[in-house]
Amino acid sequence: MNSKVSIIMPAYNSENKIEKSIKSVLNQTYKDYELIIIDNGSKDNTDKICEKYIQNNIKYYKIDIPNVSLARNYGIQKSEGTYITFLDSDDEFKSEFLQEMIDKIKESDLVTCGFYEINSKNEKNLEFEDLKKVKETSDKKMYLEILKENYLFNEVWNKIFKADIIKNNKIMFNEQFDLGEDYLFVLDYIKYVNKFSYLNKCLYNYDDTVNGLNLKYRKDKFDIELKLTKELEKFYKDNFFDLDYIYNRYGRVYYNAILNIYTKNNRISNKEKDKLLKNFLIENRNKFSYLKDKITDKKFKFLVNKILLKGFFKTKLFARLVLLKKYKY
């Protein structure tokens, strides 16, 4: 049986780190792979570095539009492997990544592994009890929730996929999103998956230099997170899952929204921030009322019942105190 794996690597202005990423592929103990690099609009010397490595199993394409989802979709179309995985151009595979993931997916439909955050020196993997539940499972809901709560679900680069599931079901990255596009792809993929595996090893080095989306102000962050959670809710309803987890996810969305307003990276005036919060509370009050008896997570239940529904001053104080503690605001 062909066990070739296609590695899809989007690259944008990656001259400082992409060579390290390419070498991590060349250093794999498993050799039946193709590396597909898609340079999507780089203005630096990314092309010159990549061209040095072009060979039979390393392919380089250049497109003009700087859109990571478009680049990944292009890579999927060009791929020839039985399996597909992804590598970002500033990250690295551990040398045994492909071998261990290939061995595991032969008995599964989707494999997820742990990863190592290079700069923060954190290991993202599972504690023993959670590991026992999802090491091998057909329970889609449990797999999703445990991985998601441990920050292991949303990424595509700590996973290996079956190419026929992707291509037969026309699973593509949503090119309209630049936040959450990985998550939507994985959510779409698991609709067609019957068996899941988790490999509790940190086989991927994630460069988190430009990390901390929760610390950075995005004007559209609330709208995007709300859309993503609605997609998850639809998935739950389509599968006739109970919605307890969804209600808690909405609580997290509102929690992130108020912190987003007051984060120090939001450069508007304090008066403008206060206005944003007031409008947010008015526009979403009915949603808070709807959720107040449905949320089960203690943290988010407290947030909705004791903070958001109590009005502007209490919510502002809460956001400031949380940011002071968590982000040294």
162 and 29 in a single domain? The answer is yes
How much is the pTM? 0.92
193 and 219 in a single domain? The answer is no
Rounded alpha-carbon distances, angstroms, from residue 51 to 22, 48, 251: 11, 5, 47
- pLDDT in the model for residue 328: 53
55 and 173 in a single domain? The answer is yes
User: What is the dihedral sign for C-alpha 224, 225, 227, 231?
Assistant: positive
- How many whole angstroms separate alpha carbon 261 and alpha carbon 242? 31
Q: Are 166 and 84 in contact (CB under 8 A)?
A: yes
188 and 261 in a single domain? The answer is no
The pair of structure tokens assigned to 293 is 């008896």
The CATH number linked to 86 is 3.90.550.10
| Averaged pLDDT, groups of 10, the chain, 329 residues long | 89 94 97 96 92 94 93 97 97 98 95 94 92 96 97 97 98 92 97 96 90 65 95 97 97 96 92 97 97 96 97 96 75
229 and 150 in a single domain? The answer is no
Last residue of a domain, one of 206, 230, 260: 206
Domain that holds residue 280: 214-326
179 and 261 in a single domain? The answer is no
Last residue of a domain, one of 206, 230, 261: 206
21 and 161 in a single domain? The answer is yes
Last residue of a domain, one of 148, 180, 206: 206
Q: Are 50 and 18 in contact (CB under 8 A)?
A: yes
- pLDDT in the model for residue 179: 87
151 and 247 in a single domain? The answer is no
| Terminal CA-CA length for the chain | 55
16 and 143 in a single domain? The answer is yes
202 and 305 in a single domain? The answer is no
- pLDDT in the model for residue 274: 97
- pLDDT in the model for residue 210: 62
Count of CB atoms within 10 A of residue 233's CB?
Answer: 17
Rounded alpha-carbon distances, angstroms, from residue 273 to 120, 217, 265, 282, 309: 30, 12, 12, 14, 19
- pLDDT in the model for residue 212: 43
DSSP 54: -
193 and 220 in a single domain? The answer is no
Q: What is the pLDDT of residues 92-138, one digit of tens each?
A: 999 999 999 999 999 899 999 999 999 889 999 999 999 999 999 99
- H-run or E-run covering 11: strand 5-11
How many domains does the chain divide into? 2
151 and 14 in a single domain? The answer is yes
Q: What is the pLDDT of residues 197-223, one digit of tens each?
A: 999 999 999 998 765 444 577 889 999
